[in-house]
Amino acid sequence: MSVMSRDPSRFDVLSEGDEEQLCSIVASLEQRKYAEEEVLFTQGDGATTFALVNGGQFEIVRTDDAVQRSWALVGPGSILGEMGVLRQRPRVATVICRQPGEVLLGDRTQLVALIETPGVLDRMQLLITTRLAEDTEPVLVATRDSAFAFRPLVPRDRDAFVAGLKALSNRSLYRRFFTGGQPSDRIVDRLLALDYIDHFAWAVMSPDSGQGVAVARYNRERSDRTIAEVAFAVADELHGRGLGTAMLGALAVAARTAGITRLRAEVLTDNAAMRAVLDKVGAIWEPVEPGVVETLVDVAACDRLVDGATAAALGESVTKIFTATNLGLTSSAPSPDNSTAPHPVTRHETST
């Protein structure tokens, strides 16, 4: 193997760490070649090794109730199998080599050493948080006359998310973004750049079609980390059926788990529907600029918007995602002071 293939900067999660320290750990990993169709990890097996992919292509496949689903194809620069190793749990998926390639294999001690290298923890946490979010089972949330499946919005929702935005009426787009037309690709990138702690979003699916019908997000403020700004969008044909109200309840569960105690909403003054939703939890409105009002409501006031069992199920799924900020490697748990680095927030782009 060439020296280049052990260059830590080749691997996404190691690209910002202390180079010297990373080089010596990466040099200690075991090199292994894989042939096409050879299995790297098997779902259900104990997880003792992780892999840095140096070449080739590997497919992550998950089997549930005898149905096999392809999760992802990964190539050079990726890390595989780290979650099971860190959490000391069985493999949640099988990894099969699809194009011959080589990997660097390491054990838990080597993985912990990598993560403890300055600069690596934040990237690793974000990667694991996203993977945990992708692995979250939807929770069914009852509305006035129906029920909808709530799960975290994840990067692979991008196409459906963009299609959902395209299907919104101009009036809804204007109320959501305070400006006409579709949001740019850059804004869509930001809307999908979730870390699930400072920037979180529920994707809401129709239980019948499985189609996405709404998104509710919060974005933690930098100046006061106990406050987050919320933003909602519901497919036009479903307005007025209680979904926005249920979304506020579900968002409050996630926010509370992340140590947020108040939610801010900036709303167009004539947006009666959004104001009506927030009025249910005691909103007091203040003008902020011509045509725009804002309110700050207590997370605790949103408790009664979803029933206790649903809130517990939503809370459990969010807590599982947050475990990535407490991998047992640091003393940090998600709290207002030590959450992972926030993404840049531009008003009316991610937060309105």
Ligand X SMILES: CC(C)(COP(=O)(O)OP(=O)(O)OC[C@H]1O[C@@H](n2cnc3c(N)ncnc32)[C@H](O)[C@@H]1OP(=O)(O)O)[C@@H](O)C(=O)NCCC(=O)NCCS
Binding piece for ligand X, criterion CB under 6 A, among 123-131, 169-177, 309-317, 325-333: 169-177
Element (H, E) at 297: strand 292-298
Q: 86: which 2 tokens?
A: 């860190």
The DSSP call for residue 157 is G
Q: Does residue 190 interact with ligand X by CB under 6 A? A: no
Size of the site for ligand X (CB under 6 A): 22
> Shortest gap between Cβ of 144 and ligand X (angstroms)?
7
> Shortest gap between Cβ of 235 and ligand X (angstroms)?
8
Helix (H, G, I), strand (E, B) or coil at 196: coil
96 or 234: whose CB is closer to ligand X? 234
Q: Does residue 202 interact with ligand X by CB under 6 A? A: no
Taking CB under 6 A as the criterion, the residue among 49, 117, 245, 340 binding ligand X is 245
Q: Does residue 347 interact with ligand X by CB under 6 A? A: no
Q: Does residue 234 interact with ligand X by CB under 6 A? A: yes
C-alpha 257, offset from chain centre: 14
- With a CB cutoff of 8 Å and minimum separation 6, the contacts of 203 are 150, 151, 152, 153, 154, 157, 161, 212, 214, 215
> Shortest gap between Cβ of 133 and ligand X (angstroms)?
22
Taking CB under 6 A as the criterion, the residue among 176, 190, 217, 225 binding ligand X is 176
Residue from 254, 255, 253, 275 nearest 263 by CA: 255
Q: Give dist(CA 218, CA 199) in Å, integer.
A: 6
Q: Give dist(CA 321, CA 201) in Å, integer.
A: 12
Binding piece for ligand X, criterion CB under 6 A, among 57-65, 170-178, 325-333, 336-344: 170-178
Taking CB under 6 A as the criterion, the residue among 87, 108, 241, 348 binding ligand X is 241
Element (H, E) at 231: strand 227-234
For tokens 């249920």, the residue is 246
> Shortest gap between Cβ of 240 and ligand X (angstroms)?
5
> Shortest gap between Cβ of 325 and ligand X (angstroms)?
27
> Shortest gap between Cβ of 150 and ligand X (angstroms)?
13
Binding piece for ligand X, criterion CB under 6 A, among 155-163, 204-212, 218-226, 236-244: 236-244
Count the helices and strands in the chain (H runs, E runs): 10, 16
234 or 324: whose CB is closer to ligand X? 234
How, if at all, do strands 227-234 and 262-268 pair? parallel
Q: Does residue 233 interact with ligand X by CB under 6 A? A: yes
DSSP string covering 44-105, please? TS---EEEEE-SSEEEEEEEETTEEEEEEEE-TT-EESHHHHHHT---SSEEEEEE-EEEEE
> Pattern 259-298, binding to ligand X, x per CB under 6 A?
--------x---xxxx-xx---------------------
> Shortest gap between Cβ of 138 and ligand X (angstroms)?
18
Contact 264, 278 (CB under 8 A): no
Residue 4, CA distances (Å) to 7, 10, 23, 80, 84 in order? 5, 8, 11, 20, 28
Binding piece for ligand X, criterion CB under 6 A, among 8-16, 30-38, 241-249, 286-294: 241-249
Binding piece for ligand X, criterion CB under 6 A, among 48-56, 226-234, 250-258, 296-304: 226-234
Q: Does residue 239 interact with ligand X by CB under 6 A? A: yes
Q: Give dist(CA 319, CA 313) in Å, integer.
A: 10
> Shortest gap between Cβ of 167 and ligand X (angstroms)?
12
Task: Point out which residues bind ligand X (CB under 6 A).
Answer: 172, 175-176, 231-234, 239-245, 267, 271-274, 276-277, 352
